[in-house]
Structure 1
């Protein structure tokens, strides 16, 4: 399955699951009146609503390049992730507000119905499956938006667990466990929203990739038999993908065609790294005096050589 199909399929699967869960929880809430189940129904309904928007965003990000967007539309993905973060913040804030008002007013609706227990346990199981599925697709497709959806589904496991604590609390005569558990979980949800924002803002402001990836880029360039050294290596995120520019040092007696071939081969080698999109290589002949020391490039090359290249 190609990247576009995998990402779009993930969006459809999550939307369908959220719709089914919203209906199931709503029916159980109407029968039991449980605050815990009612909050979960609202949570799933809000998930379904913003899943429609996220699915539209995923469709846009996986469209092929066109005249106005020659590099494709993947750079929209961090904005889709930020939209997911807004949904996470909204869910966390709503749960915190409902738990606080319930504790203050003392108006706590609980239930001991097996239906409530069943729908909450089922929610946890389904959300765990969605979390693992979206995490795998997000990692394989290098999709920050799908990874953000995975984290949101992880949150839903926590909220379902908190609601289950509330139902069990009613069975043992401590109904206050319902809003207390929900309040504690809300802070975890809000923190997840912050995690999504933090990682995706890095994509938007051009953060450098990890040291391991930068070391791999340097090593790929130095692995060419005609390359004597590299300097001024710059790698940064443009959306979820990485652009690279570098100077490679070669002997000056190469013909123009030979220099061009070296440049092309280095570019193709670095671009073969899955996370890398565009690569710009400048060839510096020795005789022009443009070879220079680059301590950072030397350090990365030595580190990656010591750790082993996983080409």
Structure 2
């Protein structure tokens, strides 16, 4: 299945599961009055709303390039993730306020019962499956929005378990544990929002990729048998993808066609890295004195074979 179809399918699955969980938890909250279950219902409702945003956002980001966006629409995806984070901050803040008020009042009244335990345990199981599903899809298709969804589902596992502990505590005569569990759920929601912001800000401000990926870029350039060194390497995020520019050092007595072939080969091998989008190579001939001995990286023969 291609990336477009896969991303849209994952978005719809996440939306459907979160909507069902929100309905189930909301129904149990109405019947039991448990704040732990209620906070989980709010959490799942927020998940359903942001899942709808993800579905719409992925539809936009998977559109083909056009005259207005010649590089495609993938760079919009980090903004979708940040919108998810804003929704999580709002939901987490509301749940935390309600839970603290209830805790100061002495806790909730009544016993949540078996139904509350069942819906929270089932929700934790469903969230674990969604976490694994979204994480794998995010890794395969390099999707910040799906990674945000995976992180949210991972946090939801812990918050569901915290809510379950609160429900069980209220059932054995410790009603204050129910709103306290709701507060833990709220903190988990807020932390997930912060995690998503931290991940996606790097995509928007042009941060450098991980060091091991930068090393791979340099190694691939140096693996060409005609390249004596590499300098002025700049790799940075443009949305979820990476743009690369670098200078390669070659002997100058070459035809334009030979220089072109060297450049084309390096662009191709660096472009084969999944995360890389555009590659720009400048060829520096020795005779022009542009080689920078203090910054050069020695040749490391690899993909293109041994030097002559």
Place the TM-score, normalised by the shorter chain, in its bin: over 0.9
Query: Retained in 1: the 8 A contact 2:131–2:150?
Result: yes
For 1:293 and 1:80, the matched residues in 2 are separated by 44
Cα distance, 1:43–1:186 mapped onto 2, change above 3 Å: closer
Q: Please state how far the C-alpha of 1:190 moved relative to its aligned partner.
A: 1.7
| Alignment partner, residue 297 of structure 2 | 298
Q: Secondary structure at the match of 1:165?
A: helix
| Alignment partner, residue 4 of structure 2 | 4
Cα distance, 1:294–1:230 mapped onto 2, change above 3 Å: farther
| Alignment partner, residue 68 of structure 2 | 68
Q: Secondary structure at the match of 1:242?
A: strand
TM-score relative to the length of structure 1: 0.92
| Alignment partner, residue 223 of structure 1 | 223
| Alignment partner, residue 204 of structure 2 | 204
Cα distance, 1:107–1:49 mapped onto 2, change above 3 Å: same
Q: Give deviations 1:256-309, integer Å, cap 9, x for gaps.
A: 1111011000000000000000000011111111111353x639x88xx9xxxx
For 1:139 and 1:294, the matched residues in 2 are separated by 38
| Alignment partner, residue 45 of structure 2 | 45
Note the aligned Cα RMSD (angstroms): 1.9
| Alignment partner, residue 305 of structure 2 | none
Q: Give deviations 1:93-139, integer Å, cap 9, x for gaps.
A: 12211111101223514424211111110000000110111111111
* Total equivalences in the alignment: 302
Structure 1 window deviating more from structure 2 (140-149 vs 50-59): it is 50-59
For 1:253 and 1:209, the matched residues in 2 are separated by 35
Cα distance, 1:20–1:184 mapped onto 2, change above 3 Å: closer
| Alignment partner, residue 135 of structure 1 | 135
| Alignment partner, residue 169 of structure 1 | 169
Query: Retained in 2: the 8 A contact 1:120–1:160?
Result: yes
For 1:209 and 1:50, the matched residues in 2 are separated by 27
Structure 1 unaligned residues grouped into runs of 5+: 306-311
Query: Retained in 1: the 8 A contact 2:209–2:237?
Result: yes
Query: Retained in 2: the 8 A contact 1:14–1:130?
Result: yes
For 2:293 and 2:216, the matched residues in 1 are separated by 19
| Alignment partner, residue 153 of structure 2 | 153
| Alignment partner, residue 306 of structure 2 | none
For 1:110 and 1:122, the matched residues in 2 are separated by 22
Query: Retained in 2: the 8 A contact 1:35–1:110?
Result: no
Query: Retained in 2: the 8 A contact 1:35–1:109?
Result: no
For 1:197 and 1:189, the matched residues in 2 are separated by 13
Q: Secondary structure at the match of 1:203?
A: helix
TM-score relative to the length of structure 2: 0.93
Cα distance, 1:142–1:114 mapped onto 2, change above 3 Å: same
Q: Secondary structure at the match of 1:265?
A: helix
Q: Secondary structure at the match of 1:44?
A: helix
| Alignment partner, residue 17 of structure 1 | 17
Q: Give deviations 1:156-184, integer Å, cap 9, x for gaps.
A: 21221122112100222111111112223
Query: Retained in 1: the 8 A contact 2:33–2:112?
Result: no
| Alignment partner, residue 271 of structure 1 | 271
Q: Please state how far the C-alpha of 1:38 moved relative to its aligned partner.
A: 2.2
